[in-house]
Amino acid sequence: MPLLQTFKNEVRIPENNDWVVFILIGCLFLYIFMMNVIEREANLKDFLLQKYYDSSNNLPSWMITSLVIALSLSVLISQYVPIIPKYVADFQPFGYQLNKIGYTLIIISLFYFIRTALGFLFYQAIGDGKKWSIFYFTSTKFHFILSVLLIILCVTHYYFPIDRNSAFIYYIYFFSFVFIFKVFFYLFHRNNILPQKWYYKFLYICTLQIAPLLMLWKLLFI
pLDDT in tens, 21-46: 999 999 999 999 999 999 888 888 88
Look at residue 94 in the predicted model and tell me its pLDDT.
Answer: 72
Look at residue 2 in the predicted model and tell me its pLDDT.
Answer: 46
User: How far, rounded to the nearest angstrom, does the alpha carbon of residue 188 sit from its chain's CA centroid?
Assistant: 23
Is-contact 115 135, C-beta < 8 A? no
CB atoms < 10 A from the CB of 124, how many?
11
The angle, 0 to 180 degrees and rounded to 10, between the axes of the packed helices 18-33 and 130-159 is: 150
State the distance between the two ends of the chain, measured CA to CA, in whole angstroms. Answer: 58
* Assigned domain for 5 exists: no
Spans of the chain below 70 pLDDT = 1-16
* Assigned domain for 9 exists: no
Q: Which residue range is the domain that position 184 belongs to?
A: 17-221
**Closest residue by Cα to residue 75 from 126, 15, 24:** 24
Task: Report how far apart, in Å, the C-alpha atoms of 11 and of each of 8, 131, 192, 202 are.
Answer: 9, 60, 59, 57
Residues 6+ apart with CB under 8 A from 185: 142
How many domains does the chain fold into?
Answer: 1
* Assigned domain for 4 exists: no
What residue type is 103 in one-letter code? Y
Look at residue 16 in the predicted model and tell me its pLDDT.
Answer: 66
User: Which DSSP state fits 41?
Assistant: S
* Assigned domain for 150 exists: yes
User: Which DSSP state fits 141?
Assistant: H
User: How far, rounded to the nearest angstrom, does the alpha carbon of residue 95 sit from its chain's CA centroid?
Assistant: 29
What residue type is 179 in one-letter code? F
Look at residue 83 in the predicted model and tell me its pLDDT.
Answer: 86
* Assigned domain for 115 exists: yes
Gap between the Cα atoms of 143 and 62, Å rounded: 9
pTM reported for the whole predicted model: 0.87
* Assigned domain for 3 exists: no
* Assigned domain for 68 exists: yes
User: How far, rounded to the nearest angstrom, does the alpha carbon of residue 91 sit from its chain's CA centroid?
Assistant: 25
* Assigned domain for 8 exists: no
